[in-house]
Amino acid sequence: MPFRRSLRTDQSLTPLYSSSAHIWVLELVPARDPFSVAGLYDYGPPGSSLQSNIIAEWRKHFIVEEHMLEVDTTIMTPAPVFETSGHVARFADWMVKDLKTGEVLRADHLVKNVLEARLAGDKEARGLADAPPKEDDKKKKKKDKAKPTAVKLSDEQVKEYETILAQLDNYSGPELGELCRKYNIRNPDTDNEVSEPQQFNLMFASSIGPTGQHPGFLRPETAQGHFLNFSRLLEFNNGRIPFASAQIGRSFRNEISPRAGLLRVREFTMAEIEHFVDPEDKRHERFSEVRDVELDLLDRHTQAAGSTKLTRMRIGDAVDKGIVANETLGYFLARIHQFLIKIGINPARLRFRQHMENEMAHYATDCWDAEIQNSYGWTECVGCADRAAYDLSVHSAKTGHPLVVRQALKEPIVTEKLVAEFNKKTFGKTFGKDSAVIQTIINGMDEALLSKLQGELLQGSTTVTSSDGREFKLTPDHLTIEKKTFKQSIREFTPNVIEPSFGLGRILYALLEHSFWSREQDVERGVLSLPAVVAPTKVLIVPLSAKPEFDPLVRDVSAKLRKAGVFSRVDDSNTSIGKRYARNDELGTPYGLTLDFASTQKGTMTLRERDTTGQLIGQIDEVIATVIELVNGTIDWAEACKRLPAYDGVQAVE
């Protein structure tokens, strides 16, 4: 297909070397045309279904369970929106150029890849790591990582490199350039020196209208659409907070060097939540439900010390100790963890890393990334930040429209304060055009200065001085200062925002790596152990014969599954039943139903489970009811084995 790369989700699978094990992932194959551009991918039918199922589960887990308000805002966004939000000035990465070829590389990735390769080479030289397998010449292609070379480093060098890698996200552009010079970091593909880092804005610029008079950008995130519609969302929620809005949609980033498959692309699907909360009360009413959830945390202080050691901790304890800023942020970290585990992410390869001071936005209170380990290392897949009131404040200041909450107080707040009252007749007559200057001076005084002024007036007169040094003498004929009582029944404030942001393509890719394995008895037989909730096809229907008498049974079973909302597929190809099951194991289909000659005579059908290859047998309707419950998650395979007898592979038929 022109202008794209294809994500092949059929039987095209290739191993990626990682440590001493093979990790299998769905192969990413460039389109066979001259217009292919890096960072753009198409999903085939199984890939599209997998992404749709992840989105459907995300919607249930967050939007439905948390009563969120779902929105769908525009992708094309007028430039003033991103000028106001700061994206035009600051949404950038640091890049370097190969001084001879002009190839552009992302600076932090270059440092990371080169230093990791040197550490891997050190382990190989010390005999601590297996040598990587020889690469098939037919499959050689440009890599995102530097190739390890077996060179032993000193213990001091190893520690120094590990410290740099632990703190890498905290380095500025000039500091990355200093690292390249100090450690002789070059382009690993050419061994050429690289330039000093320069900032590159990641947004795609465009124009709106036939004359191009309205500049715009393809959105790099969905968040700004939430903030621009805050007043309408607040009204829809009857003027009450806390509440959350959610959006699933496409975003675009003009990545510097997108070489890591689906982990770094230029067009991708995001799922974002903006949870609006009272800045004076960031408790969460459901925090007690997740207080005991345990997470593997990598806090900023550990990173600053040059370590990547994880601390396993209950989220309740992390909030109580101030490691996580508040209950609402902690609540979402736990819910993110629960979602990722539910869809099949390996919990042993999931961590939550806190942003270091230099990488966190200046307005943010706290920020954590859910990082998932894969063959490319640890990859940020979900960000969860306390953005304070920055976004609503800047848009309100720019537009003049107050993006605030007006909250009726249960009990009015009664306060007393000194107030200056001017005698308009004598004040204006005495000071004329300077009246406004004097009023500004006095109205800007705090309680202490007004009290002092009050005492001086009681003594007969006082003097105030303007910014240009002019003095004005005031008497009680000009103004009086008295204490007055004020009753406040409405509190007005700008909400803070807690923002969980999901990169669904990255999650999908990591899920594929975590789910794929090969059977011990046959390494060529791959299995994609996707949970049924996200598997593209839930049930495979396999008729043993192509004879006409099987057709009504296949139609009946398929119709009953379809009516129950279970997506199934019929494989009536001429290959053996073993091969049919094997190729659908690679596609992640969790259950298989086999219709054989006993089905036509006795009305029985077998049920096969993907991972164990165990089979059960029963009457067709009984098996259908069981597999529907398995797919819906109301029973597990152990319970199914109690309901249906095991199939021994033999049935008596006439």
Percent of the chain clearing pLDDT 70 (strictly above): 91
Give the separation between CA 327 and CA 315, rounded to whole angstroms.
Answer: 9
pLDDT interval class at 88 (50, 70, 90): confident
User: Which residues, including other chains, have CB under 8 Å from residue 210's CB and lie 6 or more apart?
Assistant: none
Q: Which of these ranges, 228-242, 327-341, 452-466, has the smallest mean pLDDT? A: 452-466
Does the pLDDT value for residue 24 go beyond 70? no
Give the pLDDT confidence score for residue 136 in this predicted structure. Answer: 46
Q: How confident is the model at residue 241 (pLDDT cuts 50, 70, 90)?
A: very high
Report CA-CA distances (Å) from 524 to 13, 14, 511, 582, 610. Answer: 10, 10, 20, 10, 16
Does residue 652 register a pLDDT over 70?
no
Taking a C-beta distance cutoff of 8 angstroms, is the pair 511, 262 a contact? no
DSSP assignment letter at 613 = -
8 Å CB contact between 20 and 123: no
Check residue 137 and give its pLDDT. 45
Count CB neighbours of 445 within 10 A. 16
Average pLDDT score over residue span 565-576: 93
Q: What is the pLDDT of residues 349-386, one digit of tens each?
A: 999 999 988 788 777 899 999 999 999 999 999 999 99
Per-residue pLDDT, averaged over 234-248, amounts to 96
- CB count, 10 Å around CB of 400? 6
pLDDT score, position 34: 57
Q: Does position 613 have pLDDT exceeding 50, yes or no?
A: yes
* Predicted local confidence at residue 125, as pLDDT: 84
pLDDT at 166: 86
Higher pLDDT, 407 or 14: 407
Q: What is the pLDDT of residues 99-151, one digit of tens each?
A: 999 888 989 889 998 998 999 888 888 887 654 544 444 444 444 456 678 88
Whether the CB-CB separation of 333 and 294 falls below 8 Å is answered with no
Could you tell me which residues come within 8 angstroms of residue 619 by beta carbon, excluding any fewer than 6 positions away?
603, 604, 605
Residues above pLDDT 90, as percent of the chain: 61
Instruction: Report the distance separating Cα 138 and Cα 130, nearest Å.
Output: 23
Comparing 25-39, 341-355, 629-643, which segment has the lowest mean pLDDT?
Answer: 25-39
Residue 612 has pLDDT above 90, yes or no: yes
Chain centroid to CA 269: 10
The closest alpha carbon to 499, from 362, 350, 391, belongs to 391
- What pLDDT sits at residue 28? 37
Which of 564, 237, 544, 260 has its CA nearest to residue 407? Answer: 237
Give 468's pLDDT tier (boundaries 50, 70, 90): confident
| Res. 651 pLDDT band, cuts 50 70 90 | low
Closest among 54, 36, 47 to 10, alpha carbons compared: 47
* Residues 68 and 273 sit within 8 Å (Cβ to Cβ): yes
CB–CB of 40/265 below 8 Å? Answer: yes
Q: How many angstroms separate the CA atoms of 570 and 622, rounded? A: 19
Whether the CB-CB separation of 162 and 305 falls below 8 Å is answered with: no
Amino acid at 498: I
Q: What is the pLDDT of residues 537-570, one digit of tens each?
A: 999 999 998 888 899 999 999 999 999 999 999 9
Q: What is the mean pLDDT of the chain?
A: 88
Q: What is the pLDDT of residue 22?
A: 28
The dihedral of CA 225, 227, 228, 229: what is its sign?
A: positive
Q: What confidence tier does 30 reach under pLDDT thresholds 50, 70, 90? A: very low
Single out the residue of 553, 643, 559 nearest to residue 605, CA to CA: 553
pLDDT in tens, 265-312: 999 999 999 999 999 999 999 999 999 999 999 999 999 998 999 999
The reported pLDDT for the residue numbered 358 is 79
End-to-end Cα spacing for the chain = 52
Q: What is the pLDDT of residue 44?
A: 87
CA atoms of 82 and 398, how far apart (whole Å):
12
- Residue 2, pLDDT score: 32
**Average pLDDT estimate for 579-596:** 94
User: Residue 228: is its pLDDT beyond 90?
Assistant: yes
Q: What is the largest CA-CA distance in the chain?
A: 121
Is residue 625 scored above 70 in pLDDT?
A: yes
Listed ranges 153-157, 563-567, 570-574; the one with the highest mean pLDDT: 563-567
CA angle 218, 223, 224 (to 5 degrees): 70
Q: What is the pLDDT of residues 489-523, one digit of tens each?
A: 889 999 999 999 999 999 999 999 999 999 988 77
Q: Tell me if 561 sits within 8 A of 628, measured CB to CB.
A: yes
